[in-house]
Amino acid sequence: MLLFSNVDFAYDAHPIFFNLSFELGQGEFNFLIGKSGAGKSTLLQMVYMNILPQAGIVQFAEYNSKNIKPRDLPHLRRKLGIIFQDFKLFRDRNIYENLSFVLEVTNTPRREIKKKVNNALTDVDLFHRRYSMPDELSGGEKQRVAIARAIINDPLLILADEPTGNLDPETTNEILEILMKIYNRGTGILFATHNYEIVKRYNNYKIIKLEDGKAVKSVFK
């Protein structure tokens, strides 16, 4: 479902990846680890093809970095759900509108939008907060809204870029549990973190470790 094959990438003269290769099967949960600056966020941006490799290939679903066209990007990105450390919610829209927006851009019928938004909010246990504004929610609740937004198009893969980086340990667990529930329904997850405590706790999942510009696939034991 996702393949990086001999990928090279540098920001100007600053090399990030050298011959980076790994593969991720459909419906897998993988951690992406590596110290700050190792290239985790860069790698995730290469999955949604915001950044293209300078050598090698990134393949996601039917999309390939060698021949991707700008007009394909919205289609590719609809197969992905993306969550960030800082949530990236629209502060001037309520929770319902933050989610419905994603479907309005694809001209989804109103009734279907309502059903999908309500289902996604129920999945993260926030249906009762649908008319709240983002600033009225806690950090954990905001991240749950971001998860609801990420799953609304029923993506193949969720990219999570340090989604618990701003959260306390208890809330971190809550977010992990929600993501595990989504994973158990069949959605793939690539979870970037530099928090090795989380990785040790969920120690039966695959790990892609970025080190010296390469990926080392391993299992923490």
Ligand X SMILES: Nc1ncnc2c1ncn2[C@@H]1O[C@H](COP(=O)(O)OP(=O)(O)O)[C@@H](O)[C@H]1O
Residues that bind Mg ion (CB under 5 A): 40-41
196 binds ligand X (CB under 6 A): no
Question: Running DSSP on this structure, what letter comes out for residue 35?
Answer: -
- Residue 11 contact, options ligand X, Mg ion, none, Cβ 5-8 Å cut-off depending on partner type: ligand X
Task: Answer yes or no whether residue 81 interacts with ligand X by CB under 6 A.
Answer: no
Distance CA 133, CA 214 (A): 42
Q: How many CB atoms lie within 10 A of CB 41?
A: 18
Instruction: Confirm or reject binding of residue 158 to ligand X (CB under 6 A).
Output: no
Determine if 204 is a binding residue for ligand X (CB under 6 A): no
Alpha carbons 165 and 167: distance in angstroms, whole number: 6
Name which position in 24, 38, 89, 189 contacts ligand X (CB under 6 A). 38
Tokens (6 digits) for 49? 């093809």
* Residue of the chain from 42, 64, 132, 171 that contacts ligand X (CB under 6 A): 42
User: Which CB, 87 or 96, lies closer to Mg ion?
Assistant: 87
Instruction: Indicate the residue among 141 and 161 with the shorter CB distance to Mg ion.
Output: 161
Residues within window 4-33 making contact with ligand X, judged by CB under 6 A: 11, 14, 16
CA angle 79, 202, 139 (to 5 degrees): 65
Measured CA to CA, the distance from residue 147 to residue 120 in angstroms comes to 8
